[in-house]
Structure 1
Amino acid sequence: MKNARMIWMVLLLMAGSLALVLAQDTPVDRVNVPLTDPSRPVMLKIGLVSGSITVKGAAMKEVIVEARVRASEDDEEKSERRGGLKLIPNNNTGLTVEEDDNVVSVGTAMRGGGSRTVDLTLRVPTNCSMHLSTVNDGNIEVENVNGDLEVNCTNGSVKLLGISGSAVAHALNEDLTATFVKINPQKSMSFSSLNGKIDVTLPSDLKANVYTKSDQGEIYSDFDLKVLTENIAPSPIVQANKGKKGKFRVSIERAVRATINGGGQELQFTNFNGDIYIRKGK
């Protein structure tokens, strides 16, 4: 029994030491951002070239930003190219934060003609609208906020969870998932992807006009959709061809227009290679 306890103590100490080493290897830059007027909603703006963005809403009166440089997978390769010299890591995130009249802008600096991969984690007041974008090596996740969201992720996934308000969201090459607790009936919404799945859950009492289109995928829903048209009318196009007879080209856009609960705000779902799921919340 004593030997077993000793083994567990050693394992715990080793785990703690490993966590400490990892924490030291990837330091975190943290900024507490005071707001001009904490009683008013916040606008958050973030644009990254490389990295993930995670935002969580909470009952608070400031914005907390944490930035961490992600370890590069080709550090060893770089060392080999430099005659075996050891690479001394540069963990400076280059974090920049500005606040002006409740508009908080966050970014990271460039280095070496490109961008370091920096992951951002933020906590914000619940009433917060956002413009978020990232291009490479990162996903975007937003949780528990009330506001209007514009989200664009080129090579990662998008997750919007527990959202009240509206969203215009695009995930080019990965999945897009969104769950709404409440929506703003005065705002149109759009969800799009090229190579990922679109999965959106909406309140059961939603009233909307819906446009859905997936070139290579299927469309599924447990709402009682009243389909208005299955195929938008073809648009003939006559094309000149260097002295030859004109060619008549017809393009039929396969789409579905429908209403939910009699119609209302405009919702658009467009995809190319993935399926579309429109779910009824419980």
Structure 2
Amino acid sequence: MLLGFVYSPAQTIINRKDDDDRDRKEYRRRDDDDRDQRETRTKKDLEYRVDFPNARDHKVSIQVDNSKVRIEGYNGDEVVIQAVGLQAPPERAKGLKPLYYSAEDNSGTGLSVKQEGKTLYIVKASRQDGRYTIRLPKKVAVSFEQVNWQGDDLLITNLEGDLEVKTNNADIDIRNVTGPLVASTTSGDITVTYSDVEQSKPSSISNISGVVDVTLPADTRADLKMKSITGEIYSDLDLSLHQGKGSMRRVGGGHTVEGSLNGGGVEISLHTISSDIYVRKPK
């Protein structure tokens, strides 16, 4: 007796459902594994150190994005990078390299750290966001650039060398520095507190959409040039304001206000388009 095969649509549907269930379980298992790996990786704080002289003729150039950064100067001869909240690449990426960033993470902190001559370059090598504290020898020159619009607030403290700062979408808070300083942002407040003002080069602080707030020691010798297109300029310093033609000083309409402090000295330029400027004594 021959046994014939009977096609059953219902059985086919059941088999397909079982296959789909197995696929979904496998996908969930893989997702759970990846999530567990990520959660484990984020619990680790990372640190990287490299020797670097505490000298004015040396420079540290930093380019990052999508990260909150704190830069601290100290009396030492090492650059110390501390990273919090970073994730190592997933297990599936083992043996592969990310392509969005050309820099290679040779520090284990999501940053590329390379020295060329007297300049140390610190460059973001991962798309992941993170929190960085970077300790630098305080006499070195420092250049910081936020390379795109994905940024977070920046804090810089205790530096005595040349300082250049450029962000696109972040507040800049600079404390206890001497300059010379060149700082600019497109969207965010710039707050600067000088411990002293270096007289060798002019300083410039400019903003498009945000406050400029500068604190100067009362004995600072400086010539200030200040301009706000739509805002006001406020100060409690004893400025000797320069008079315009016919002894009429023009302040409104976005004109530049010029004044000397303690007989004049190094030029400090302050500029914003859509907010106010504050120039004050230390509290």
Check whether TM > 0.5. Answer: yes
Matches within 5 A, 1:144-183: 144-183=158-197
Distance in 2 (CA, whole Å) between partners of 1:218 and 1:26 is: 47
Deviation at 1:93, TM superposition (A): 5.3
Number of corresponding residues: 217
Distance in 2 (CA, whole Å) between partners of 1:185 and 1:22 is: 50
What residue number does 2:62 align with? 46
Could you tell which deviates more after superposition, 43-52 or 179-188? 43-52
Task: Confirm or deny: 8 A CA contact 2:68 2:151 kept in the other structure.
Answer: yes
Distance in 1 (CA, whole Å) between partners of 2:158 and 2:40 is: 28
Distance in 1 (CA, whole Å) between partners of 2:49 and 2:279 is: 38
1:124 and 2:139 matched: no
Task: Confirm or deny: 8 A CA contact 1:179 1:201 kept in the other structure.
Answer: yes
User: Percent of aligned pairs with the same residue?
Assistant: 28
What is the RMSD computed on CA atoms of the aligned residues? 2.4
Q: Which has the higher strand share?
A: 1
What residue number does 1:265 align with? 266
What residue number does 2:3 align with? none
Deviation at 1:278, TM superposition (A): 0.6
User: Secondary structure of the residue that 2:275 maps to in structure 1?
Assistant: coil
Distance in 1 (CA, whole Å) between partners of 2:232 and 2:178 is: 27
What residue number does 2:10 align with? none
Deviation at 1:52, TM superposition (A): 2.4
Task: Confirm or deny: 8 A CA contact 2:54 2:138 kept in the other structure.
Answer: no
Q: Which amino acid aligns with 1:225?
A: L
Distance in 2 (CA, whole Å) between partners of 1:173 and 1:39 is: 33
What residue number does 1:279 align with? 280
Distance in 1 (CA, whole Å) between partners of 2:157 and 2:240 is: 31
* CA offset digits 1:135-186 (Å, max 9, x no partner): 4231221111111100011101001111123211112211111111111111
What residue number does 2:25 align with? none
Task: Confirm or deny: 8 A CA contact 2:86 2:110 kept in the other structure.
Answer: no
* CA offset digits 1:235-275 (Å, max 9, x no partner): xxxxxxxxxxxxxxxxx752212221222211111111111
Distance in 1 (CA, whole Å) between partners of 2:43 and 2:169 is: 24
Change (3 A) 1:59 1:109: same
Larger radius of gyration: 2
Distance in 2 (CA, whole Å) between partners of 1:22 and 1:223 is: 52
After TM superposition, the score normalised by the length of structure 1 is: 0.70
Q: Which amino acid aligns with 1:116?
A: Q
Deviation at 1:122, TM superposition (A): 0.5
Matches within 5 A, 1:57-206: 57-69=73-85, 94-110=110-126, 115-134=127-146, 135=148, 136-206=150-220
Match of 1:25 among 38, 42, 53: 42
After TM superposition, the score normalised by the length of structure 2 is: 0.69
Distance in 1 (CA, whole Å) between partners of 2:270 and 2:86 is: 33
Distance in 2 (CA, whole Å) between partners of 1:260 and 1:23 is: 56
Distance in 1 (CA, whole Å) between partners of 2:169 and 2:231 is: 20
User: Secondary structure of the residue that 1:154 maps to in structure 2?
Assistant: strand
Task: Confirm or deny: 8 A CA contact 1:217 1:276 kept in the other structure.
Answer: yes
Distance in 2 (CA, whole Å) between partners of 1:225 and 1:146 is: 25
